[in-house]
Amino acid sequence: MIVLGIDPGLANTGYGVVARRDGRLAAFDEGVIATPAGTPVARRLVALHDAIRALLDAHRPDAVALEALYFGRNAQSAFAVGQARGVVLLAAGQAGVECADYTPQEVKGAVCGSGRADKEQVGRMVQALLALPRAPAPDHAADALAVAICHANHAPLAAALAP
Amino acid sequence: MIVLGIDPGLANTGYGVVARRDGRLAAFDEGVIATPAGTPVARRLVALHDAIRALLDAHRPDAVALEALYFGRNAQSAFAVGQARGVVLLAAGQAGVECADYTPQEVKGAVCGSGRADKEQVGRMVQALLALPRAPAPDHAADALAVAICHANHAPLAAALAP
Provide mean pLDDT across the span B134-138: 92
Beta carbons of A45 and B90 less than 8 Å apart: yes
Residue range B21-38, pLDDT digits in tens: 988 999 999 999 999 999
Cα–Cα distance list, B132 to A105, B129, B137 (Å): 53, 8, 11
Lowest mean pLDDT among A99-113, A139-153, B62-76: B62-76
**Residue B154 confidence (pLDDT):** 84
Residue scoring higher pLDDT (B155 or B127)? B127
Res B75: pLDDT: 73
Interface test with A, best of B56, B71, B89 (most A CBs within 10 A): B89
Size of interface A-B (CB pairs under 8 A): 105
- In terms of Cα–Cα distance, which of A38, A13, A16, A37 is closest to A27? A16
Contacts of B4 (CB under 8 A, 6+ apart): B15, B16, B17, B55, B56, B59, B61, B63, B64, B65, B97, B148
Q: What is the pLDDT of residue A7?
A: 95
pLDDT at A155 over 80: no
From B84's Cα to the closest Cα of chain A, the distance in A is 6
Distance from CA of B46 to the nearest CA of A (A): 6
Report the pLDDT value the prediction gives residue A29, as an integer from 0 to 100: 95
- Per-residue burial over B47-70, b = 16 or more CB atoms within 10 Å of its CB, e = otherwise: bbbebbeebbeebebbbbbbbebe
Q: How far is B127 from chain A (nearest CA, A)?
A: 30
Indicate if the pLDDT at residue A154 is higher than 90.
no
Q: For position A71, what pLDDT does the model report?
A: 62
Burial of B139 (C-beta count, 10 Å sphere; 0-12/13-18/19+): middle
Instruction: Give the 3-state secondary structure of residue B130.
Output: coil
Q: What number is the average pLDDT over the span A52-64?
A: 98
Instruction: Pick A83's closest partner by Cβ from B49, B86, B98.
Output: B86
Q: Is A42 exposed, middle or buried (0-12, 13-18, 19+ CB in 10 A)?
A: buried
Percentage of residues in chain A having pLDDT higher than 90: 77
Q: What is the pTM of this model?
A: 0.91
| Window from A74-78, A103-107, B107-111 with minimum mean pLDDT | A74-78
pLDDT at A10 over 70: yes
Please report the residues numbered 99 through 158 in chain B whose beta carbons come closer than 8 angstroms to any beta carbon of chain A: 99
Averaged pLDDT, A77-106: 93
Per-residue pLDDT at A102 exceeds 80 = yes
What pLDDT does A72 receive?
59
Closest Cβ opposite residue B78 in set A40, A75, A86:
A75
pLDDT digits (tens, 9 = 90+) for A125-148: 999 999 999 999 999 999 999 999
pLDDT of residue B64: 98
A84 inside 8 A of chain B by CB: yes
